[in-house]
Amino acid sequence: MTNRPGRGWLRTLVAAVLLAALAATAFAQDEDWAAIEAAAKEEGTLVVYSTTSRTEVAAAAFTELTGIQVEVTRLGEQDLIQRAYQEARAGARNVDMIVVEDWVAARELLSATGYFVNYVPPTARATFAPEYTDPLVLGFINRVFGYNTELHTEDPFTNVWQLTMPEFRGRVMIRDLAITGEHQNAFTEWVRRADELEAAYTELTGEPLVMTEANAGLEFIKRFLENDAIIMTSDTRIAEAIGARGQETPPYGVFYVYSKHRDIPLQDLALAESRNIGPTLGYYYPIVLQLAADARHPNAAKVFMEYLGTLEGFAPWADSPGVYTPNPAQVPFEGDMPWAWWAERLWGYDLDFAAQHRGEVLDTWLKYAQR
């Protein structure tokens, strides 16, 4: 008979992890920053895993400023989480810090296990709202609904359920939810706020929503896919396809990154985001910074985290709309709105609820996407 650890063992483990995280955050408040900066310059090359190429741009500027060398490996969100997890589990001290998306998955595999810890450097501690420091948020990303401005001189959207109607059949693009963890997280919020979605359907049609799925969020996924949604693998291709000029029947976009609108003048795109669609203009998610618990170059990682929390360090992300630092001194990109405006109009998602329900969201997607 196999002996299994009881619940007391699990509670002890969870408590230890929480205490370690709290200790790391408290320690950051009491450190000698001058000593950290001095030690960072003696440690050697900082190793960073990141989901975004902009980290490489920031790292180059950081090296020029401080002399500290940085090696950035860019990975997809799920590849990063799995690689960091497997290496930490094997005791391989290959990475010092991560710049990660899909915090729901990362929290479970990297933070709750104690392999990575939260660290709050001085600028973030002094200027970020407390809710953006645990985990430490580098920035927020918007994902929006988009349309072609040659076909529509005014916003064509009022309601998300329009995208399930016959007039939109075969004309709506979305990045494949099966390869996009953040989409899975976002749709859990549609499940959590299913009452609002159900009310939106009635507001649009004047009729009650008759469902074959368990709630309005899953029902939307079903109807959206049954309306011959176009499943894509790239936000860039979605934005370019929507905005290409000279189309009689251009596609529409769902949940593509708003930062792609930086290419509008360069590519002469006829592209705009909906600021009228309800009950949400899209969703947002955080990019999170975490420190490896057994980092070989911990002080260099701390100094780089500090740099990324400044406006100078965030500059590679600030050169487009749709990306926002928690640093309140940020001036929005030309034509964009400040983060506070978007935060009131986009849906985020509840971390715990997302962790519990993203499986059923993915199952529903796969059930109808594969038909």
CATH number, domain containing residue 158: 3.40.190.10
301 lies in some domain: yes
Say whether both 147 and 105 belong to one domain. no
Is 143:284 a contact under the CB 8 Å cutoff?
yes
Q: Are both 214 and 259 inside the same structural domain?
A: yes
Print the domain residue range for 249. 141-284+356-369
**CA atoms of 293 and 83, how far apart (whole Å):** 15
Contacts of 211 (CB under 8 A, 6+ apart): 219
Low-confidence ranges of the chain (pLDDT < 50): 1-24, 26-27
pLDDT for 42: 96
Q: Is residue 71 domain-shared with residue 153, that is, in the same domain?
A: no
- Measure the CA–CA gap between 229 and 173, rounded to whole angstroms: 6
C-alpha Rg value of the chain to the nearest Å? 22
Residues sharing a CB contact under 8 Å with residue 88, sequence separation 6 or more, in sequence order: 110, 113, 115, 116, 292, 293, 294
Residues 76 and 117 in one domain: yes
Number of domains in the chain: 2
Question: Which burial class, exposed, middle or buried, applies to 14 when counting CB atoms under 10 A from its CB (0-12, 13-18, 19+)?
Answer: exposed
Within a domain: residue 346?
Answer: no
**Contact at 8 Å (CB) between 76 and 327?**
no
2 domain residue, yes or no: no
Give the pLDDT of residue 17. Answer: 41
pLDDT computed for residue 28 by the predictor: 53
Residues 95 and 194 in one domain: no
Whether residue 339 is contained in a domain is answered as no
Q: Are residues 327 and 277 in the same domain?
A: no
Residues 246 and 163 in one domain: yes
Query: Is 344 domain-assigned?
Result: no
pTM: 0.88
Residues 110 and 136 in one domain: yes
Residue 342 lies in a domain: no
Q: Do residue 187 and residue 209 come from a single domain?
A: yes
- Please indicate, yes or no, if residue 341 is contained in any of the structural domains: no
- 114 and 186 within one domain: no
pLDDT at 10: 34
**Percentage of the chain exceeding pLDDT 70:** 92
Query: Can you give the pLDDT at residue 26?
Result: 38
Residue 350 domain flag: no
Same domain, 299 and 214: no
241 and 166 belong to one structural domain: yes
